[in-house]
Amino acid sequence: MILLLLLIISTATRLRTYFLTRKIEAVLQGLSEIRLDQTTEEQMTKMLPYFTERDWKAGGFSYRSYYVHISNESDGSPWPYGLTHSFALALWLGRVGELLGYRYINFDAGVLVRDGKVTQADYGLANQWIRPQAAGYVGYMVTTRSVHGFWLPGSLQISSVDDYSPQYRPTRWGNTLAVIYTSDAPPELTKRIFGLNLSCFWGLRACADAADIAPEISQDVETIQKATYRQLISDKCPDSIIEGRMRYLPDVSVLLLEVTGSRRLKVNEEGARAEDWFTDYKLKEALRGKSFGSWENVRFQRTIPSPMDPSRQIANQIWPETKIGQEVLYFGGLGFYSCRFIPATPSALDIVRNSPMPVKRPEDQIPRGLL
């Protein structure tokens, strides 16, 4: 009788979670069909089930917001922690519940509508308790957020991986995955964002890692990191990097400089012999933004963060031009990991001169809490 009772409890628990995942999958399917800045509000309301309307104001603009919250706990926290103040007892109860098929699941999603069309979409999926917050922020196991561009008051760091794949930016942090994608990202990339495997919430095996839920996104992280590394060791900065910066970074400044001098100095680093390059430049034109400071004795950055692990450093193999009379493009205003100095080829100059200035939209501001 005890075994039968446990089986009934386990089956009922798993069935409840299964039906919740079906609701989440219906929302994800609707989100995958949305085309930012194209899908109308009327079309969106037919695509997305379970959403509730509310208004949102920012930066002097008024948006219509729609959101949905799906969880197997009404107060947003797992049931053991509401029964006892003892963390050890709650942890033990949680393990028992997991054996019986109970898996905490929390899903939040939202869209913003401006001028009658969808301008932003995001979602966050959690398998552990977090404080209530908007989808797309730290604390979720898998999260995604759309943008038109990238800007932040103050300093914004642009990694080599961001430069290589500006439209589709999957990131792994611990056992979590986050994706930021642009409004014009190719559908063949964005469809991977919404194809989650939620069976670990109700199946025999629990969700231990975000890769269990989003294997394609996890694979994309490694693929893009490896491709970025190959680009860095190729000693080249392709025009695609310039195109991405011009299209999605409203705060970037671009200066046209000419090399006026270059020298190599031998340095004694605590007994070890090393060499440093110093280059002098002359400002020829501020193509975007303003020039600042002196362009003499510019030091070559010998190491940069690794695309495989930003906490580690690798040798910077992309050397700037040092021949007197050579023209280069300098990219400033933001913290670029690599390709700050790029040869001023005709194609590079054409991209910079003919690219329109991106618009700073309030909904695109990257919060510091975003992965």
DSSP 47-94: H-TT-EEEEEEETTEEEEEEEEEEESSTTSS-HHHHH-S-HHHHHHHH
- Phi, psi of 306, deg, nearest 5: -70, 140
- How confident is the model at residue 370, as a pLDDT? 39
Please, which contacts does 305-311 make with residues 24 or more away whose CB atoms are closer than 8 Å? 305/159, 305/160, 305/337, 306/229, 307/159, 307/160, 307/161, 307/164, 307/225, 307/228, 307/229, 307/232, 308/225, 308/226, 308/229, 310/159
Is the Cβ–Cβ distance between 257 and 292 less than 8 Å? no
The per-residue pLDDT string of the chain (371 residues; one tens digit each, 9 = 90 and over) reads 888 877 777 778 888 889 999 999 999 999 999 999 999 999 999 999 999 998 776 666 677 899 999 988 765 555 555 555 665 665 566 666 666 667 888 899 999 998 899 999 999 998 765 554 555 555 788 999 999 999 987 778 899 999 999 999 999 988 889 999 999 999 888 889 999 999 988 887 788 789 999 999 999 999 999 999 999 998 889 999 999 999 999 999 999 999 999 887 777 777 777 777 889 999 999 999 988 778 998 888 888 999 988 889 988 887 777 889 999 999 999 999 999 999 999 999 999 999 999 998 888 876 543 33
Helix (H, G, I), strand (E, B) or coil at 267: strand
- How confident is the model at residue 78, as a pLDDT? 57
Pairing mode of beta strands 253-269, 272-288: antiparallel
pTM equals: 0.84
Nearest Cα neighbor of 300 from 275, 335, 325, 332 is 275
Q: Report the interhelical angle of 239-248 vs 346-354 (nearest 10°).
A: 10
Helix (H) or strand (E) holding 109: strand 106-114
The number of beta carbons lying within 10 Å of the beta carbon of residue 195 is 14
CA distance 311 to 303: 12
